[in-house]
Amino acid sequence: MRVLVLHGPNLNLLGEREPEVYGTQTLAELDAAIAAGAKELGIEVRCEQHNAEGAIVAALHAARTAYGGVVINPGAYAHYSYAIADAIAAIAIPVVEVHLSNIAAREPFRRNSVTAAACRGVVSGLGFTGYLLALRALAGMVA
């Protein structure tokens, strides 16, 4: 099984951006943890980070023929990007949304995810572990 992991805007700044919310580990460390977890599950994984909404939409479109599933952290786009929600709904492969922080416990504008409704599931508030749980869930969906 092949899985695409999409990191959204500002996740390239992990480790320095609001460490009290997102922790002190970097995106490179997150990608390494994802790769190790994927290997244990027998999953081939590719991680990409995009700050632009259109790049995320394009990556989702491309994923539909190249991957068995997607793990996506749409970042702030989760709260208002109907374009990303539509792209998720348009592809036939399962998508699991992940958030490092618990968006339900954050500022009011962050509590709703418009992209979540198009996803097969959501993992929120469990830090890096959330990505590993999303990979495990996808492995079960596709098996």
> What residue ranges in the chain does DSSP mark as E strands?
2-7, 44-49, 69-73, 95-99, 121-124
The chain-wide mean pLDDT, for the chain, equals 95
Active site residue 22: yes
Q: What is the pTM of this model?
A: 0.94
**Torsions phi, psi for 8 (to 5 deg):** -85, -160
- Fold topology of 1-10+23-74+83-102+131-143: Rossmann fold (3.40.50)
Task: Report how far residue 38's alpha carbon sits from residue 4's, in angstroms, rounded to the nearest whole number.
Answer: 11
Which one is catalytic: 7, 77, 99, 131? 99
Which one is catalytic: 22, 77, 82, 131? 22
Q: What percentage of the chain reaches a pLDDT higher than 90?
A: 85
Domain ranges of the chain: 1-10+23-74+83-102+131-143
Active site residue 67: no
Write the pLDDT tens digit of every residue in 15-45: 999 888 888 899 999 999 999 999 999 999 9
